[in-house]
Amino acid sequence: MDCHLTLKTDETFLEALTSACKKNDKVYLLLDENGLIHVEGIAKTINIRSSSHILELQNGREIDIRLVVAVNGTFLPEYSEC
């Protein structure tokens, strides 16, 4: 079985993504958009819209953080075996 680093049950990716935005770091994301997809890019900013946080990458792509299942190799616990 292939296991990965995972967040603790009560953690989210918001802190890691906010830190990446402050440093203009490149992020490697796995999203669950009716199937898993890989996205990468320079983290630019996080905007709050309604009840969701939106990550904007430098290339203009906007990502609802609720769709993120992995950031830079760290996974949500329920996706630890992806």
Q: Which of 69, 78, 74 is nearest to 33 (CA)?
A: 69
CATH of the domain at 44: 2.30.30.100
3-state secondary structure of 23: helix
Q: Which of 11, 10, 25, 34 is nearest to 55 (CA)?
A: 25
Please state the φ and ψ torsions of residue 2, each to the nearest 5 degrees.
Answer: -95, 115
| pLDDT digit string, tens, across residues 9-62 | 788 899 999 999 999 999 999 999 999 999 999 999 999 988 899 999 999 999
The domain total for the chain is: 1
What pairs with residue 19 in β-bridges? Answer: none
**Residue 9 belongs to domain spanning:** 5-79
Confidence tier at 4 by pLDDT (50, 70, 90):
low
